[in-house]
Amino acid sequence: MLSQATKDIITSTVPVLEIYGERITTRFYERLFQNEPSMLDIFNQTNQRKGQQQTALAQAVYAAALHIEHIEDILPVVKQIGHKHRGLGVTPEHYPIIGENLLGAMKEVLGDGATDEIIGAWAQAYGVIADAFIGVEQDMYAQVATQTGGWEGFRPFIVVKKVQESDVITSFYIEPEDGGTVAVYEPGQYLTLKIDIPGLAHTQRRQYSLSDEPGKPYYRISVKREDAHDGWPEGIVSTYLHHHVQVGDTLHVAAPAGDFTLDVTTHHPIVFLSGGVGMTPLLSMVHSLLTYDPQHEVTYVHAAIHGGVHAFQTEMEELAIAHPSLQYYIVYEKPHEEDKQRAHFAQAGYIDLALLDARVPRDAEFYVCGPKPFMKSMVTSLQQLNVSSDHIHYEFFGPQGSLE
């Protein structure tokens, strides 16, 4: 238990830390990788370069500290991050390493402002937050290790099929090398890949959504090739998977994780809104829902730039033919002439308020996935249509952040 004095210090210093937040966490990562180079095998260096991870961790630590008296109030967030950590292989021994380097960075950036009292209070608070994460993650490790077809750590899988789904998205079908079964996952979950790329000093870990429905003897992940753009380098793992990983190759995979999932037993109509590769978890959900209840009322609206980069067109068209209760619409930002002739083409431009107003039932549960500007626009439009926020479920691609 933290004393009242400690809690008061935490509450009064959060605003100061927020001001220096990014400087502290940037310095934290520099120290971390210098003191513990093995951490370079765990953290995604591309996210580091984009500064996204710095912000995500800073926000999470300060947000948790503000709830220090009732840490249970933020359990949903702890669980969401816990899924990510569990997939990546974060273990209790890692927490003190993160804590020491974070406190060291605080001291360094705040200088004389960081009295022993303040650093002592934050050390205690970090301990409480870390314990909450460790507890949640230990339960998750136990659950995946004991479930049928589940496993601990990273298990070798063979690529049995590789399918190009669009100009930029390719699916990999993988089966366990040991010939065993695979754990049934919840639609919307993702896999973590641990991959050693020749010429790179550090192991890479990346998470990709499972795009098929659960219950098959294989897993399917669908990966967007991240080409270099606007000064950002190409995605090292996605381009390696696209160009070098072939049928017969081995991938090391952690058991499915993630809490952006669909309960297929729902009685509500379901609306799926996806942008680009954000389609992958929603595709797993729509398949699962219609397998469970072939007549379920479903609306699916997908946004892509044009037909060339629109994956799974045939798969979705077949699903719509097989299930008249599925209303399927495509919106292309910059359609080619032939794209406008496609079945289900609704309009050029974006998924806008008018389209949602005309096509989606209000009493639905909404599942939204895509890049941040897409999500922001969808959530804002749904709010304007008076959809209550507890009916809107969304997941970002890349590190979580706020919609602001």
**Angle formed by the axes of helices 116-146 and 4-19, nearest 10°:** 90
Candidates 83-91, 184-192, 235-243, 268-276; binding stretch for ligand HEM (CB under 6 A): 83-91
CA 301, CA 328: separation in Å to the nearest integer?
Answer: 6
Cβ proximity to ligand HEM, 173 vs 396, nearer residue: 396
The count of residues in the chain is: 404
**Stretch 43-62 residues interacting with ligand HEM (CB under 6 A):** 43-44, 47, 53, 56-57, 60-61
Known catalytic residue: 137? yes
Cβ proximity to ligand HEM, 121 vs 129, nearer residue: 129
**C-alpha distances in angstroms, 96 versus 65, 117, 126, 129?**
17, 19, 9, 12
**Is 269 annotated in some ligand binding site?**
no
* Nearest partner of 327 among 349, 297, 364, 356, judged by Cα: 297
In this structure, what are the phi and psi dihedrals at residue 339, rounded to the nearest 5 degrees? -60, -30
Known catalytic residue: 300? no
Q: Edge-to-edge, what's the strand order for the sheet holding 345-348?
A: 345-348, 326-332, 298-304, 270-275, 365-370, 392-396
**Is 396 annotated in some ligand binding site?**
yes
Indicate whether 264 belongs to the interface with ligand HEM (CB under 6 A).
Answer: no
Binding mask 169-208 for ligand HEM (x = CB under 6 A): ----------------------------------------
**Is 176 annotated in some ligand binding site?**
no
**Is 345 annotated in some ligand binding site?**
no
**Is 344 annotated in some ligand binding site?**
no
* Nearest partner of 255 among 92, 91, 88, judged by Cα: 88
Indicate whether 400 belongs to the interface with ligand HEM (CB under 6 A).
Answer: yes
DSSP state at residue 181: -
**Is 398 annotated in some ligand binding site?**
yes
Q: Do the beta carbons of residue 251 and residue 176 sit within 8 Å?
A: no
**At its nearest, how many Å lie between ligand HEM and the CB of residue 227?**
20
Total residues in contact with ligand HEM, by rule CB under 6 A: 24
Task: Show the 3-state SS of 152-170.
Answer: CCEEEEEEEEEEECCCCEE
Structure tokens belonging to residue 348: 């050029």
Indicate whether 90 belongs to the interface with ligand HEM (CB under 6 A).
Answer: yes
Q: Which of residues 74, 98, 136, 255 is near ligand HEM by CB under 6 A?
A: 98
**At its nearest, how many Å lie between ligand HEM and the CB of residue 129?**
5
The DSSP code sequence of 281-324 is HHHHHHHHHHHH-TT--EEEEEEESSGGG---HHHHHHHHHH-T
**At its nearest, how many Å lie between ligand HEM and the CB of residue 97?**
7
Indicate whether 279 belongs to the interface with ligand HEM (CB under 6 A).
Answer: no
Which of 29, 30, 72, 95 is flagged as catalytic?
A: 95
Structure tokens belonging to residue 373: 């500007």
Binding mask 119-148 for ligand HEM (x = CB under 6 A): ----------xx--x---------------
Candidates 77-85, 147-155, 164-172, 324-332; binding stretch for ligand HEM (CB under 6 A): 77-85
Q: What is the C-alpha radius of gyration for the chain, rounded to an integer number of angstroms?
A: 22
Which of 29, 126, 137, 186 is flagged as catalytic?
A: 137
Contact partners, residue 224, CB within 8 Å, separation at least 6: 168, 169, 238, 276, 277
Candidates 5-13, 41-49, 151-159, 309-317; binding stretch for ligand HEM (CB under 6 A): 41-49
Where does 67-192 have alpha helices with state H? 75-88, 94-110, 116-146
Indicate whether 241 belongs to the interface with ligand HEM (CB under 6 A).
Answer: no
**Is 43 annotated in some ligand binding site?**
no
The residue type at 386: N
**Is 209 annotated in some ligand binding site?**
yes
SS3 256: strand
Binding mask 330-369 for ligand HEM (x = CB under 6 A): ----------------------------------------
**At its nearest, how many Å lie between ligand HEM and the CB of residue 90?**
4
């058991």: which residue's tokens?
Answer: 255
Per the annotation, where are the binding residues for FAD?
A: 190, 206-209, 396-399
Task: Note the residues at the interface with ligand HEM (CB under 6 A).
Answer: 39, 42-44, 47, 53, 56-57, 60-61, 64, 81, 84-85, 88, 90, 94-95, 98, 129-130, 133, 399-400
Query: What amino acid positions are annotated as catalytic residues?
Result: 95, 137
